[in-house]
């Protein structure tokens, strides 16, 4: 299903070589490289093709360089394939955020493919902060996020899924949701996680051993050389989440994993924002706030 992985650098799969059920949909690609120049992180290289675009909002005082990824089509259809690559060279510090919630629309059969490759070099920092992905009924999504974190580097990343247009009262009944994470250190796989739901999605969302009726889920991972020291801090943050949100945190093979489940997508988004703002301040000393785009 996926392209081969270089032992030294992760590269997003080529849509043209992805042997899954696709049709003539959009083929978008964004490839960005950032490098430290003096005391500032700057864009070194960029390639982008529609419908993916990278925008550069003004840098907030005391914060890192921010990049907003935009899908200009307004949503994804079956047969669409998007590829994103982000490389942060040694000592760089970058935040990549989604410009808005991503919508995956109903498919007549073909899959929507989203491939992400993130490489963080020595002593670099990357925040990967997409906004929520809204899965419409009968959508078919296959997404994989691959991360390679070098010694001394730090990575704070997340994904949020909303199952159906909950604000419209829609229930996600059928389709495909496959969301995969793979984390490597020095090219060695240290953590892998895959959510796979197919066909009768409503039964899986409602089942007590599944999502227990939740209609929104989020996962955040933090990768660094000393993640264990932050686990007590994270658990204190999770102790104050509002009623109706289930959450937990643990460390697996040097990766700090946090998960949330909620019936209300907006409530989860707020709780997640509190965690993220506190975490970036605790780890990196950055302003304890979410990006302006998160508030739009």
What is the count of structural domains for the chain?
1
Does the pLDDT at position 91 exceed 70?
Answer: yes
CB 181 within 8 A of CB 148: no
Strand, helix or coil at 203?
helix
* Residue 4 forms part of a structural domain: no
CB 164 within 8 A of CB 205: no
Distance between alpha carbon 284 and the CA centroid of its chain, in Å?
A: 19
- In this predicted structure, what is the pLDDT of residue 165? 85
- In this predicted structure, what is the pLDDT of residue 58? 79
* Residue 268 forms part of a structural domain: yes
* Residue 275 forms part of a structural domain: yes
Under the banding of pLDDT at 50, 70 and 90, the label for residue 3 is very low
Taking residues 185-209, report their average pLDDT. 94
* Residue 10 forms part of a structural domain: no
- In this predicted structure, what is the pLDDT of residue 25? 86
- In this predicted structure, what is the pLDDT of residue 15? 67
* Residue 19 forms part of a structural domain: no
Domain hosting residue 240, numbered range: 24-295
Strand 52-55 with 112-120, pairing:
unpaired
Does the pLDDT at position 152 exceed 50?
Answer: yes
Taking residues 116-130, report their average pLDDT. 98
Q: Give the separation between CA 120 and CA 153, rounded to whole angstroms.
A: 6
Does the pLDDT at position 10 exceed 90?
Answer: no
Q: Give the separation between CA 113 and CA 219, rounded to whole angstroms.
A: 19
* Residue 47 forms part of a structural domain: yes
Does the pLDDT at position 21 exceed 70?
Answer: no
């Amino acid at each position: 299903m996926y392209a081969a992985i270089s032992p030294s650098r992760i590269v997003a799969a080529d849509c043209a070589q992805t042997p899954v059920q696709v049709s003539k949909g959009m083929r978008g690609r964004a490839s960005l490289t950032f490098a430290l120049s003096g005391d500032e992180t700057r864009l070194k290289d960029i390639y982008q093709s529609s419908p993916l675009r990278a925008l550069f909002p003004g840098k907030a005082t005391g914060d890192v360089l921010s990049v907003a990824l935009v899908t200009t089509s307004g949503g994804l259809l079956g047969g669409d394939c998007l590829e994103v690559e982000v490389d942060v060279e040694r000592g760089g510090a970058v935040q990549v955020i989604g410009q808005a919630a991503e919508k995956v629309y109903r498919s007549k059969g073909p899959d929507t493919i989203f491939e992400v490759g993130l490489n963080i070099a020595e002593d670099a920092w990357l925040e990967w902060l997409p906004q929520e992905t809204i899965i419409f009924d009968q959508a078919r999504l296959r997404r994989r996020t691959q991360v390679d974190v070098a010694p001394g580097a730090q990575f704070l990343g997340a994904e949020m899924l909303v199952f159906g247009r909950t604000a419209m009262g829609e229930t996600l009944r059928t389709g495909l949701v496959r969301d995969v994470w793979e984390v490597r250190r020095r090219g060695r796989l240290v953590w892998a996680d895959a959510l796979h739901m197919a066909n009768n999605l409503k039964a899986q969302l409602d089942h007590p051993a599944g999502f227990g009726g939740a209609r929104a889920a989020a996962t955040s991972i933090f990768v660094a050389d000393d993640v264990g020291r932050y686990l007590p801090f994270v658990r204190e943050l999770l102790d104050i989440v509002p009623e109706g949100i289930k959450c937990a945190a643990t460390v697996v093979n040097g990766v700090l994993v946090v998960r949330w489940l909620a019936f209300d997508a907006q409530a989860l988004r707020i709780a997640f924002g509190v965690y993220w703002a506190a975490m970036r301040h605790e780890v990196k000393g950055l302003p304890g706030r979410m990006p302006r785009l998160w508030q739009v």
